[in-house]
Amino acid sequence: MPINNIIQAVNDALRIEMRRDPRVVVLGEDVGKFGGVFRATAGLYEEFGEDRVIDTPLAEAGIIGAAIGMAMYGLRPVPEIQFSDFIFPAFDQIVNELAKLRYRSGGQYTAPVVIRTPVGGGIKGGHYHSQSPEALFIHTPGLQVVCPSNPHDAKGLLLSALRGDDPVLFMEPKRVYRASKGEVPEGDYTIPLGVLRVAREGRGLTVIAWGAMFHEALAAVTQAPELDAELLDLRTLWPLDLDAIVRSVRKTGRLAIVQEAPRTCGLAAEIAALVQERCFTSLEAPIRRITGWDVPFPYTLENDYLPLAPRILQGLRELSAYQP
């Protein structure tokens, strides 16, 4: 079957790496016989068996704790947290153990653990199945955080993450798991972490987005070609491709950042601070954040919470029209 959506791309990347490296093991809730709630691990149990595709109890701290132990003993575990909202019981294991393992062991141990988890809203999941907690993990030294927007990048970035020696939180935007489609090369290829993608060049203003919100930002800038927007798909949320961001903002003089997560203390705020420190004399308008609201993710008002294309477009028009 041709690979044309993110689910298929993730599945293919896991299969390629499990065939290439017998140390790679997958574990999590319903990842084995059932193939995962979103079917991202479908068929892996049948090919690789119960020793490498492991169904676990509903115990996120145990899943990540077990993965850390596996990594210390030479395996390369890929735990799945069924929804990113469920990751908080494992927060202590991720932040206090996994992220600090290389440092606290003086380099004696590495932590090649790739935590996969679906992220964000758009599926009417309410406040326990829709959150975007990336900023909490970006705040933790020692973690890399990735969020692709399309199947081509999902496969290449996941293969890179699986081959690294440090922990990666690989966030998969479930709103576009099947909606984002595109050509994906067969076989093995990688996309380096920490490198963004310039999806559309322009000189009028810079727009940064990632995951599902990239598609909303793309729809917004497509509707307003007169804005001449340059659109950056962040792909790796941390470490940032800050040099590429700075080059773009120095060229355009205006920056909007779109994030699905709540506004306060989000990644958009950190990007705004970093850009202001480096591009102060190039900025022609205040940096604009277009974000979710500082409320629990709503069920009935989901489309009002999400920064969808109409709200993004309004913000971009206001940014473009700003005069000091």
| Residues acting as catalytic residues | 129
Consecutive H or E run containing 302: helix 302-305
* Amino acid, single-letter form, for residue 196: L
Closest by alpha carbon to 125, among 213, 37, 215? 37
Closest by alpha carbon to 9, among 172, 128, 126? 172
Q: Residue 288 is encoded by which pair of tokens?
A: 């604009």
Q: Residue 264 is encoded by which pair of tokens?
A: 């306060």
d(CA 117, CA 133): 11
For tokens 């958009």, the residue is 268
Q: Phi then psi for 38, rounded to 5 degrees?
A: -105, 5
d(CA 274, CA 253): 15
Q: Write the CB contacts of 204 (distance below 8 Å, at least 6 apart in sequence).
A: 227, 228, 229, 230, 252, 254, 320
| Contact between residue 243 and residue 193 where contact means Cβ atoms under 8 Å apart | no
**Helix/strand number for the chain, H first, E second:** 12, 12
ω into 239 cis (within 30 of 0) = yes
Q: Phi then psi for 118, rounded to 5 degrees?
A: -70, 145
